[in-house]
């Protein structure tokens, strides 16, 4: 790992943990996973020195890496355990997948932009040496039916409503966390638990994510 991808200084780590706790992230496993995952490894060189700040930052393909407090909130709400098989829809930089990998048995992550999937795979496998993450380029709106059912599903792009096709791939007793909203300005982070009696919804916080788009991006060339 290069100097620009170093662990944070004690002060940087302390400030980030304070920001996470201030936003309701108190689960020790989640805090430890975030502290152990160098966000700088997922950023372009010009943004690496801001990696430990609690802000979203741009990445390739017009996407963003979420601010750590939002990542923490979503991860905590998901409640992944060491026995869980997790689906992530929207790999992006790979930062969220790397954090989930430290908490779950297996993580499958789907990305519609091939350059992002390739870069995320490079960081997770070759820099962080995490071996329980599979990243693939596909239409995330369809989920990953060949690997279903999943114990947990996280969606890192905003749908207009909770996608039925993803709910079908969630195991009974499983949890899905996703942003829902019809515009960029009005989105709500939801936790959905699939029980024997139906679906239980919990609203967590207002958020702002890119929209969940169908299909594979035009920048993908086989």
Please state at what angle helix 68-78 crosses helix 28-36, rounded to 10 degrees.
140
149: preceding bond cis by omega (within 30 degrees): yes
DSSP-H helix ranges across 55-177: 68-78, 95-101, 114-122, 164-168
DSSP-H helix ranges across 88-143: 95-101, 114-122
Whether 66 is a known active-site residue: answer: yes
Element (H, E) at 14: helix 10-22
Marked catalytic residue, from 46, 66, 93, 205 = 66
**Which is nearest to 206 in space by CA: 182, 177, 185?**
185
Which residues, in sequence order, are bridge partners of residue 107? 86, 133
Contact assessment for residue 89 and residue 110, using Cβ atoms and an 8 Å cutoff? yes
Hey, which residues are catalytic here? 66
């Amino acid at each position: 790992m290069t100097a620009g991808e170093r662990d944070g200084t004690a002060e940087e780590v302390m400030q980030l943990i304070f920001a996470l706790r201030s936003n309701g992230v108190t689960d020790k496993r989640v805090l430890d996973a975030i502290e152990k995952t160098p966000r700088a490894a997922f950023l372009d060189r010009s943004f690496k020195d801001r990696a430990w700040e609690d802000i979203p930052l741009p990445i390739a393909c017009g996407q963003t890496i979420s601010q750590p407090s939002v990542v923490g909130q979503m991860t905590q709400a998901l409640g992944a355990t060491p026995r869980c098989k997790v689906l992530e829809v929207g790999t992006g930089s790979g930062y969220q997948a790397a954090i989930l990998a430290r908490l779950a048995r297996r993580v499958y992550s789907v990305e519609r932009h091939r350059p992002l999937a390739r870069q995320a795979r490079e960081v997770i496998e070759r820099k962080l040496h995490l071996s329980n993450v599979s990243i693939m380029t596909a239409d995330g709106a369809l989920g990953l039916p060949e690997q279903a059912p999943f114990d947990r599903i996280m969606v890192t792009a905003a749908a207009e409503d909770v996608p039925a096709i993803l709910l079908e791939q969630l195991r009974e007793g499983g949890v899905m966390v996703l942003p829902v909203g019809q515009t960029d300005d009005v989105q709500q982070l939801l936790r959905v638990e699939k029980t024997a009696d139906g679906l239980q919804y919990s609203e967590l916080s207002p958020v702002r994510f890119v929209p969940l788009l169908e299909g594979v991006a035009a920048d993908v060339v086989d």
